[in-house]
Amino acid sequence: MAKITVIPPTINPLTRLPNSELTKRKVAGYARVSTDSDEQFTSYEAQVDYYTKFIKSKPEWEFADVYTDEGISGTNTKKREGFKRMINDALDGKIDLIVTKSVSRFARNTVDSLVTIRKLKEAGVECYFEKENIYTFDGKGELLITIMSSLAQEESRSISENITWGQRKKFADGKVHLAYKNFLGYKKGANGKLEIIEEEAKIVRLIYSLFIKGKTAGWIANYLTKNNIKTPARKDKWQKSTVDSILTNEKYKGDALLQKTFTVDFLEKKMKKNEGEIPQYYVENSHPAIIDPIEWELVQAEFARRVELGRTYSSKSIFSSKLVCGDCGGFYGQKVWHSTSKYRKVIWQCNKKYKKDAKRCSTPNLTVETIQMIFLNSYNRFMENRNQIIEDCELVKMSLTDFEELDKEIERRTEEIEVIAERVKHLVKENASTLQSQDEYIKKYNSLSKRYEEEYKKLEKLQKDKELRKSKYKAMEVFIENLKKQPLVIDAWDETLWALMIEKAIVNHDGSIIFVFKNGTEIQEEV
């Protein structure tokens, strides 16, 4: 017979707190009236009395205070002394939860409200809007903040547009500006356009070359520091983030993406990455390139490959993270035999081959000379069909550029999300101003919130699919251009060609190696 154990509820559905006498939340109330008339003052006193009794009636709550403002407007928080004192106390740890009548009573200015809620949330302080039955820490609160954010953007647009218009006009005209003092390789020329500083450009080219040959941004940063090469800010010590920035900045290939960031004036006046909120402008061939555009694109593709590999990526050798064991799928690693004798020998073998508690792989050990020789054969065989390979790649490119159906679906999902957001906005406003069943209100809110989340997830997936296809298209385009520039036949080892052409090399237990080129072509060679 089945045994059933009852697990009692541990969370109070109203307060979201554990059902424990030992855990008490410091709770404050906030009351505000818009005028100082006698009628409103009575309402104000009633609010103070109500919240005092309401908070003290909850055994799991500890009464902190009731903060009040009377006879003032709620349009902004500048003169609301009670409100400001409450926020300061909350940030000082004297309050865990603020209870107020409704969103409109907390602050009618959505900018102030949004800033305050986020500031409180970062400090671990929650707000409860009684009328809407919304806690700012739960899912509904997050959606409310999102909607308030969109409202705040609308309200702040007229304030900020005069300030930003001039700068955005320059962007729209394709005028490129740099923080020259902290930018390696360029200076402002006599005509106001970018000019190359050759001595600094050599450092940039070195960084790209080392990366293509397998070195990580961290390794490159250490190398530059040890060789006493100054950073763009003329400092002695290089950081990984600085190298990453140089390797991913499109200005080094002669192009410029303008308005990558913008100032979020209506919140905390700090810079934010532009993720589609405002226009961006991409200017091709805006200035002389330090890095060949094809090489730049190859570096971006290599960046993406390393991100996908994660921690398994190694930069110890040009062969690291490219030689794959055909038995277990793991990478080959470099080993040194007889390191202290005249018989010293460097070999490559599966990293799991001699690990304890692991099934031993039967793939062979390889010397560096063997790998290099077999690669030469594979490369020359591959280039015999270069024209046909280019034609095949062009066909693949064409299939990747058809976004018609995908764009239609993205547009449909976007419109659906906007409709849901408007319905939620209308629902919240209506509930704040009209007496109605709160059970019915919560039911409608939850239903819309669920639909919003579902549609947003679908939209995110569609956008990721489109970005993936764009990425594949770009990779194929770069591969074709790179292929056209390479020699048809080579008779000596070239580590740059290995880095540029080979995605991976799979070593089989029979001794054969399958070289997978970056367009997906596979060529098998016998050792």
pLDDT per residue of the chain (527 residues) written in tens, 0 to 9: 555 555 555 555 444 445 544 568 999 999 877 554 444 445 677 888 889 999 999 888 999 999 988 755 444 455 678 888 999 999 999 999 999 887 767 765 666 777 788 889 889 999 998 877 888 887 677 677 667 655 545 555 554 554 454 455 554 555 666 677 788 999 888 777 888 999 999 999 999 999 988 889 999 999 999 999 999 989 999 999 999 999 998 889 988 887 776 666 544 456 677 676 667 777 888 888 999 888 888 888 888 888 887 777 777 788 888 999 999 888 998 888 877 787 788 889 998 876 666 678 889 999 999 999 999 999 999 999 999 999 999 888 888 888 888 899 999 999 999 999 888 888 888 877 777 788 888 888 889 888 998 998 999 999 988 888 888 888 888 888 888 989 999 999 988 889 888 999 999 989 899 999 988 899 999 87
Scan for tokens 């356009």, then name that residue.
193
pLDDT for position 471: 82
Sort 290 into a burial class: Cβ within 10 Å, 0-12 / 13-18 / 19+. Answer: buried
Separation of alpha carbons 300 and 523, rounded Å: 25
Tell me the fold of 176-309: Hect, E3 ligase catalytic domain fold (3.90.1750)
pLDDT for position 107: 65
CB distance 323 to 330 below 8 Å: no
CATH number for the segment(s) 25-137: 3.40.50.1390
Strand 97-100 to strand 126-129: parallel, antiparallel, or no bridges (unpaired)? parallel
Separation of alpha carbons 521 and 527, rounded Å: 19
pLDDT for position 335: 87
pLDDT for position 104: 67
Q: Say how many residues make up the chain.
A: 527
pLDDT for position 508: 94
Tokens found for residue 262 = 């913008």
Separation of alpha carbons 507 and 319, rounded Å: 12
Q: Which long-range contacts (CB under 8 A, 24 or more apart) does 473-478 make?
A: 473/397, 473/400, 473/401, 474/297, 474/300, 474/301, 475/301, 475/518, 476/393, 476/396, 476/397, 476/400, 476/519, 477/297, 477/397, 478/294, 478/297, 478/298, 478/301
SS3 282: strand
Q: How far is CA 275 from CA 76, 272, 278, 505, in A?
A: 29, 9, 8, 37
CA–chain centroid gap for 206, Å, is: 28
pLDDT for position 173: 53
Other CB atoms within a 10 A radius of the CB of residue 492 amount to 6
**Residues 334-371 as b or e (16 or more Cβ within 10 Å = b):** beeeeeeeeeeeebbbbbbbeeeeeeebebbebebebb
